[in-house]
Amino acid sequence: MATFNLADLFELVVDTVPADREALICGDSRHTFKEIDHRANQLAHFMHAQGIKAGDHVGLYMYNCGEYLEAMWACFKIRAVPVNVNYRYVNEELLYLFNNANLAACVHGREFVPAIAEVRQAVPDLKLFISVEDGSSEDLSSIGAIEYEQALEGCSTERDFEPRKEDDLFILYTGGTTGMPKGVMWPHKALFYAAMNGAGHFHADGPCKVPEDIISRAKDNWFMKSMALAPLMHGACWWSAMISALAGHTIVLNSNKKFDAEEIWDIIEREEVNAVSFVGDAMGIPLMDALEANEGRWDLKALFSAGSGGAVFSNSLQDKFRAKFPNIMLMNTFGSSESGQMGSDGGGGGDGLGKVQQSEFMNVVVEATEDTPAHFAEPGSDQMGIFARSGHIPLGYYGDPEKTAKTFIQVEGQRWLLTGDEAKIDIEGGITVYGRGSNCINTGGEKVFPEEVEQAIKSHPAVFDTLVVATPDERFTNKVTAVAQLREGCALALDELQEHCRQHISGYKLPRELHITQEIGRAPSGKPNYKWAKEVALGQEFLAS
């Protein structure tokens, strides 16, 4: 009997879609749903034979590839817990995650063998290594790894696994913008509804009510190809891949290790991609620049949807996308590793970073003080609170009850997740999101959200990318400071930038200091590295007049 376990749902989809339906296109690798299912079964049998059991944690330490998704499905099939590993982690970060996640096995790119070798002695419970070929020649014997295809040889393609549960776990590690990574514990059913809308995105009947509803969602749906531009180890790409898989659609991935906008458009044209999703301006700006520099180069008539999630999608960039693609659906989506998808404002500018609608499970929470318990913000009062979600939410952070208690709280008898984004709610239930409260700049008693200033700065034609941070100020305690990357051949002075920004934001929000660097520090997903930006600003090496 099927449950809301993701492996159960996937197998129902595999048995429903046409035998030749492609599930994944990644570089030269193309696999149908049945091929991925068979290979995942083989890997699942191998891992189980090696002692990996229900509840064991398995690291996925690879660039985008078909094996990433196969390994994930294999884990789900035997009720093991896949754990994403950031391929940019250095020794200290990698050791922390391996230990914090209590990994029992790791499926990894061959090139990462030396990095694993440096830390494996300090992780005694991590004993099984399965290496995916990636063109490198690292010595597998140094960590006792078996080659991926060799592991599959001779293993059964049958689904003779024990029954699964819908509260089996998936753990998504998120680095955020500060501190060591945190493992978000998602029960399968909660994740299915929170991050994937219960497979209701593409069907008139909406989200599934029982697991077997997934059959009609895959059978009746019109077929499309979706491309997520973030790495699979990032939640934004993982959500997109699962939404496509459970709808019976094809997910197209970027197999290149670096983000090259022209290559992305080449893939979108070649594969006739229908929907593309990216992470904020860090990906959106070079995509638009490539289009503007190569007018008419690509035939993109198959594309009918473009959207951003996981980082700021500035109003100025949204306007450019609308001008370039007047007939496509453009979305500015809110969400995180802890919340799944929190809604979309469809673009269009306005106050803050965007607006979503209040619901039974979506609200603004004013955090508790010594005198007042946590409560909901009063609609129409201009009272600021934290964008929050209830209902289908994670259990908390793995092995970290302190952070869990701060993020998952009780409000009026119900458990709510605090996203960290400050927001307010209007009289009609519209929730306007402003940005991370932890990054908020207090300058002379006024609160300034960096994301709002960044939007204003990025609307200047000379600016390619920017991050805004607080730096010390004798008069106002803190001042708004911008670190910017300019477009090639451009120059920019602080007074010119301030004059431009006055058209978009209040005077007290203007940047009081400008630092110009060759590149802006961001994670592979496109998320901002505010710690890096503050170090640059405090160092004064790149201060502009």
H helices, E strands: number in the chain: 16, 29
Residue 141: the pLDDT is 96
The predicted pLDDT at position 348 comes to 52
Instruction: Look at residue 528 in the predicted model and tell me its pLDDT.
Output: 84
Rounded to a whole number of angstroms, the distance between the first and last alpha carbons of the chain is 68
8 Å CB contact between 424 and 385: yes
Looking only at the bridges linking them, the beta strands covering 430-436 and 414-425 are antiparallel
Is the pLDDT reported for residue 179 higher than 80? Answer: no
pLDDT tens-digit series, residues 337-351 = 899 888 887 655 556
Q: 441-443 and 446-448 as β-strands: parallel, antiparallel, unpaired?
A: antiparallel
The predicted model gives 81-89 an average pLDDT of 93
What integer is the mean pLDDT of 280-299? Answer: 93
Cα–Cα distance for residue pair 374/412, rounded to 1 Å: 8
Kindly give, in sequence order, each residue whose CB lies less than 8 Å from that of residue 399, ignoring residues fewer than 6 positions away: 100, 102, 183
Query: At a CB cut-off of 8 Å and minimum separation 6, what does 3 contact?
Result: 163, 164, 165, 166, 188, 189, 211
What does the pLDDT read at residue 508?
A: 86
- Predicted local confidence at residue 451, as pLDDT: 87
pLDDT at 212 over 50: yes
CA 68 to chain centre: 16
Q: What is the pLDDT of residue 38?
A: 98
Angle subtended at Cα 52 by Cα 49 and Cα 55, rounded to the nearest 5 degrees:
145
How far apart, in whole angstroms, are the C-alpha atoms of residue 482 and residue 454?
8
**Is 2 or 444 the better-scoring residue by pLDDT?**
2
The arithmetic mean of pLDDT across residues 58-74, rounded, is 97
Give pLDDT, residue 160.
96
Judging by DSSP bridges, how do beta strands 225-228 and 275-278 pair with one another? parallel
* Total-model pTM: 0.86
Q: If pLDDT is split at 50, 70 and 90, which confidence band does 327 have?
A: very high
Tokens of 12: 């129902």
| DSSP secondary structure of 66-126 | HHHHHHHHHHHHTT-EEEE--TT--HHHHHHHHHHTTEEEEEEEGGGHHHHHHHGGG-TT-
CA dihedral for 263, 333, 455, 302, sign (positive or negative): positive
The Cα 85–Cα 68 span in angstroms is: 11
Length of the chain: 545
Give the pLDDT of residue 133: 96
Residue 507 has pLDDT above 80, yes or no: yes
For the chain, percent of residues with pLDDT exceeding 90: 73
Give per-residue burial for 418-438: e unless 16+ CB within 10 Å, then b: bbbbbbbbeeeebbbbbbbbe
Least confident piece of the model among 64-73, 171-180, 220-229: 171-180
Count other Cβ atoms within 10 Å, centred on residue 42: 21
pLDDT at 177 over 50: no
Mean pLDDT of 84-94: 89
Rounded to an integer, what distance in angstroms lies between the CA atom of residue 237 and that of residue 279?
9
